[in-house]
Structure 1
Amino acid sequence: MPASLTRPSGPFSGAWHRLTPFARAQIVGWGLFTLVDLVNRQLTYQDLTVALAMSAVTYLLLVGLSAGLGLVYDRIFSGTVLGARVVVAMAALAAVASTLIVLATVLVRQGFGWSIPDWGAMEEIALPFTHYAVALTGWSLLFFWIRADRQRQAAHAAALSAETQMLAAKAEALTAEIQQLRLQINPHFLFNALNGIAEEVPEHPTAALAMLRDLTDYLRHVLAGIRVPVVPVEEEVAALAAYLRIQQARFGARLRVRVEMDPTAAGRQIANSLLQPLAENAVEHGDRSQVLELAVSVRMEGPALRIDISNTGRLDPAHRLRAGHGLGLANLRRRLDVHYPGRHAFTLDETGGGQVVATLVLEGEACSAS
């Protein structure tokens, strides 16, 4: 739409829009007040020309004096609460301004020889003085109210801005923390996987190639999660299966894996790479003296997502004291606090049948901090 249709053009329009909102309110407000005064003056003077001239004089005086009062209030009472002392000072200043208006109008009338029919000297002074003193006192009260409202709005806006900046800073810190947690987990797994591939290359190149493909699939999932930190459960389970195939290739017949996923849980969102520390803990600290049985179950339990990862073994002090045993689980707990604050449960228990079971229950959607 052309600018000429959205805002009137011309010198007057440009000057008007350059005025402050306070100045515009002054002009309009006192203009309406003067229109009412004009009717009274016409009835008083019985002469439209005189009424118009006197109204113009008082209008200019009211605009100028009220602007001056505003400057005084901003300088002397800038942060003062409206109390008895301020009201008295306000009334006194309004009286001074009213006196100046009365003196000016008297001088104008005397200069042009205009008189008010049937009015004496006291009526010509006392009535206008009271009239303008009341008007300027009311204007002063309105000025204080509007200024206090603006200050409240400014304080509210400043508080919102500070809160927004604080939330942004927290989000940045959260992002950095999660990335740090990922870096603590992934290089450890990568080191083990590459060692396993290197061991397989000389005698079993086909198996090494399969491990390399699984490693590529898993790393693609992890790296994509840096940009998309929350993924469908089926993608997380597929990446976990690739990880476990690499471990099966490393340990051979000593590791048997079963992965089950409820189809109703496939589309549920979950934090990327959240399950890998549980599977890694089960593989590294499970009992591989004969055959390590590892089972992964992912299903819906009411509205919550439940993951069970079990392995043969025991939760004894010797397992807990192995190098690096607590790092992955500590990172997992921290990530649960970040992605599911107050909406998760994690347990690591030993059953009577020589099984260690890690159970994770996640309620609601994961917070998508990256």
Structure 2
Amino acid sequence: MSVVADAEEPGEHRGIVPDTLAEVSTREAEARPNTTLERKLGTFWRVQTVGWLFSAVFGFVSRIIAFEELAFALTLTAVLEPIGFSLTALAHSFFRDRIRGGVTLMVVVVALILSVLAGLSQMLVADAIKTAMLTQSDPNLVSGKLVIPAVYYTLVFMGWSLAYLWINAEVDVRTARVQRGEAREAALYAELNQLRSQLDSHFLFNALNVVAMEIPESPDIALEMTKRVAAYLRYSLAHHDQRLCSLSEELEAVHNYLRIQELRFESRLNYKFNVDPNIEKAQVPHLVMQPLIENAVKHGLATANGYLAISVTVERRGAQLALEIRNSGQLKTQSRDRPAVGLANTRRRLELHYPDRHRLTIDRTEDEVIVRMTLWGSACYA
């Protein structure tokens, strides 16, 4: 039968995640430099330059084929393409601030009207050049054929305008999606840090209570326990900025905790480790086993007739890392009024580090409690 329990004292640490996490992530997002505009500007000028260079090459070849006049084709290209480049650059400056809140129907209508006007202006410039250069050589080339260039240049500017608006709208959507993802990631990092800090305070609370109980009757043992608690906390502080640690480091932390309990319970506590040495470098969340070991000590000694045996087994099963903690005794029923911080903390950290890739169960038999933790793959948010 699977049940949930925790080694927690009444009234402590109400809640797992503080209400200010959203504020933390918002401040972090605001503190980051906003480079989105700079990236968009750089991308625009690169695309703008390449696009009009391609237009110049295409237009130059088309004009040679249409007019069979190299000088005329070169002149048209040298005049019209820079004008087109300049007009679209002005359009970019005009629309840049007006589409930050999104592309509206009015913006599209204005863009189409400006495209028609730009197309007509290009037509007039082209007609003036044709009149100046080709009248003497062949008057038939300039006799009122204005519709085709007007339509061509208008379509060019309309295509540019619609592409510009669509690309900016798409970039804004993707940027917003990325920013939401970054804000969520920042909130998750903040939550992981808070959960880790909560474990430290949770351990310190319980450890100091244990030391306080030993002071009246066994001051020497209490002094040695205090030293070991200090050593344990020194280890924790040395790794405070690490969300993950090697399995060997995690097991050493468990060893340190059990050594503290040994001073208190002496021969009534017996523990052993069965760990595959080939997986000691595997990365696991820091202090992920600590609350489970605390549960084993607290609930086990209270129900195991004065003697507690704990075994810790860790092995690799294909892509899975399997951890098992067994302790003699029974699992005490957890009161609803008692905040199961330690176990809830562990479950939440596993959800963040191994989303949909973990399993944590607590089962019991007549004389034994078995905790099994299975982790798939590598942890997220290292």
Fold shared by both chains (TM-score > 0.5): yes
Amino acid at match of 1:313: G
Q: 1:266 aligns with which of 280, 289, 300?
A: 280
8 Å CA contact 2:119–2:153 kept in 1: the answer is no
| Shift, 1:180, TM fit | 2.6
Q: Hey, what's the Cα distance between the residues in 1 that align with 2:91 and 2:203? A: 72
Unaligned stretches of 5+ residues in structure 1: 1-19
Equivalent of residue 178 in structure 1, options 185, 192, 197: 192
SS in 2 for 1:349: strand
Residue 376 (structure 2) pairs with residue 356 (structure 1): no
Name whichever of 251-260 and 333-342 sits farther off: 251-260
Shift of 1:175: 2.1
Structure-to-structure mapping, 1:221-370, within 5 angstroms: 221-286=235-300, 287-315=303-331, 319-321=333-335, 324=338, 326-352=340-366, 354-369=367-382
What is the CA-CA distance between 1:330 and the residue it aligns to?
Answer: 1.5
Distance 1:323 1:244 in 2: 28
Aligned counterpart, 2:232: 218
State the one-letter code of the partner of 2:357. R
Q: Is the 8 A contact 2:228 2:260 kept in 1?
A: yes
Determine which of 54, 79, 99 is the counterpart of 2:108.
Answer: 79
Aligned residues: 325
Question: Greater CA radius of gyration, 1 or 2?
Answer: 1
Shift of 1:64: 5.6
The Cα of 1:329 is off from its aligned counterpart by 1.4
- The letter for the 2-side match of 1:250 is R
1:88-167 aligned at under 5 Å gives the runs 94=119, 98=123, 102=127, 116=136, 119=139, 123=140, 125-126=142-143, 129-130=144-145, 132-167=146-181
Q: State the AA in 2 paired with 1:341.
A: P
RMSD: 4.3
Say whether the 8 Å CA contact 1:296–1:307 is kept in structure 2. yes
1:261 offset after TM fit, Å? 1.9
Q: TM-score, normalised by structure 2?
A: 0.67
Higher helix share: 1
Offset, 1:333: 1.2
Normalised by the length of structure 1, the TM-score is: 0.69
**Structure 2 residues without counterparts, runs of 5 or longer:** 1-44, 96-104
Q: Which has the higher contact order (CA 8 A, sep 6+)?
A: 2
1:104-128 deviation line (CA, Å, top 9, x unaligned): 866x69xxxx963675xxx3653xx
Corresponding residue number in structure 1 for 2:204: 190
User: How many angstroms does 1:69 deviate by?
Assistant: 9.4
Alpha-carbon spacing, 1:135–1:323, altered in 2? closer, same or farther (3 Å): same
Displacement of 1:142: 2.6
Following the alignment from structure 1 to structure 2, what is the Cα–Cα distance between the partners of residues 337 and 325? 19
